[in-house]
Amino acid sequence: MEKMIKKRIDQVKEKGHQRLTVLLIPHGFDKSFHFQISIFTIFFLVGLLFAIVGIAVLGIVRYNNTRIQINALASVYGKYFDEYIEYSEKLGDIRDDFASLNENLQEVHSLIDGESDELLKLPDESDSEDLAATELKVEEAVDKDLMLGRSYLSEIYGYRSVRVSMEKNKALVDSVFSFLDSRYGIMNSLPFGEPLLSYNLTSYYGMRRSPTFGYMEFHDGVDLANVPGTDIAATGDGRVYRAIYSNRGYGNHIVIAHANGYYSLYGHCTSLKVREGEYVHKGQRIATVGATGNVTGPHLHYEVWIGESNRTDPMDYMKVGFGQY
C-alpha cells in the first residue's frame, strides 16, 4: 500500500516537473521567442490569478455593502449624522470632566462625614462599559437599526457608559445634596441677614442716651431708618409668635419664633402683613417701616433674642450675610 502511494506521488512529481515549450511569434517579425515552463508553475500562476481576481471581487462586494450600510445609517440618523460624529470626538473630554467631577464629589462626601462608605465603592470604567454594552444588546434586540450605529459609530455609544457611571453616582450626589439641603434649611431657620434692603443705622445695640427722655438707657436692638412704607422682611424661617398693634413702646410690632430658641423682633411698623401663628419664610414681606410707638422718626427697631429674655446684638447676625433676600 505504501509503495503504491509513493509510486503515485512520484508520478505526479514527474508530470509536474515536465516542461512545456511556449513559442511566441510576433506579427511582422521574422524572429520568434520561446521559453519553457513547468506544469507546476502553470498551476501556481493560474491559482494566483484566480486568488487576485477573487480578492478584487470580494473587495468590490464589501465596498458596495459598506456604502449601502453607511447610506442606511445616514437615513437612520438623518440630518444629525454629522453632529453625532462631531459629538463622538468630544467623548474623551466628557470622560475627563466626569472623572474630575466624580473625584470632587467623593472629596465633598468625605468632608461632610458621609454616613455610608458604600457610596464610595463606585464601579470602575470597565464595569460601566460592560453595563452599557448589556443595555445596548437589549435595545438592539428590539430595534435592529441600532446595529448599524453600533458598527460605525462606536464612539457615540461611549456616551452610554458615561451615563451609566453617572447613574451609579446618583446615590453619592443625593447624599451630598441631602446634607447640604438640611444644612441650608438649618441656616434658613436662624435669623441671619438684614431685614431691610437698605437703611441708615441710627442707633446701635447697648448703652445710649434716650432720644425721647434724654437719660442713659440700654438699647436692646438696632434702629434702621428708612422712609415709611419700606418693606420689612423676615430674617429667617419661623412662626409668628406675636403680631401686636400698639401706640406705646414698640408700637405695631412682630415677634417671630425661629428654630433652636431664637426670636426676632420688628418694631414701630406702619402695617403688619402677617398674623399671629402664621408660618413665614426667610425674605418674606411681613411689615412696613413706620413710626408707631415710642419714636422720634420712622425706622425699624430690630432685635434678636436667644430665648424670650436674653437679648443679643443683632449686628452679629445681620452681618453673617447668609441667604440675603
Q: Is 90 helix (H, G, I), strand (E, B) or coil?
A: coil
Give me the percent of the chain exceeding a pLDDT of 90: 31
Let me know if 142 is exposed, middle or buried by CB neighbors in 10 A (0-12, 13-18, 19+).
exposed
Task: Say yes or no to pLDDT of 4 above 90.
Answer: no
Nearest CA among 241, 288, 232, 289 for reference residue 263: 241
Residue burial 174-213, b: 16+ Cβ < 10 Å; e: rest = ebbeebeeeeeeebbbbbbbbbbeebeeebebeeeeeeee
Q: Which of 5-19, 69-83, 131-145, 264-278 has the highest mean pLDDT?
A: 264-278
Q: What is the pLDDT of residue 37?
A: 65
Give the model's pLDDT for residue 167. Answer: 67
Q: What are φ and ψ of residue 266, in 5° steps?
A: -130, 110
Residue 314 has pLDDT above 80, yes or no: yes
Is 242's pLDDT higher than 80? yes
CA distance 290 to 229: 7
d(CA 81, CA 214) in angstroms, rounded, equals 83
Radius of gyration of the chain (CA): 44
Residues 194-230: pLDDT tens digits? Answer: 999 999 999 999 888 877 666 778 889 999 999 999 9
Higher per-residue confidence, 219 vs 273: 273
Region 306-312 average pLDDT: 89
Cβ–Cβ under 8 Å, residues 188 and 323: yes
> 72-126 pLDDT, tens per residue?
766 666 555 666 666 666 666 776 776 777 776 666 666 666 555 555 555 555 6
What pLDDT was estimated at residue 65?
80
Quick one: pLDDT band at residue 290, thresholds 50, 70, 90?
very high
Residue owning grid cell 437703611: 199
Beta bridge partners of 16: none
Cβ–Cβ < 8 Å for 234, 283: yes
CATH fold for domain 200-319: Glucose Permease (Domain IIA) (2.70.70)
**Residue 5: how many other CB atoms lie within 10 Å:** 9
Task: Identify which of 296, 308, 295 has the alpha carbon closest to the alpha carbon of residue 255.
Answer: 308
Q: Which residues sit opposite 256 in a β-bridge?
A: 240, 264
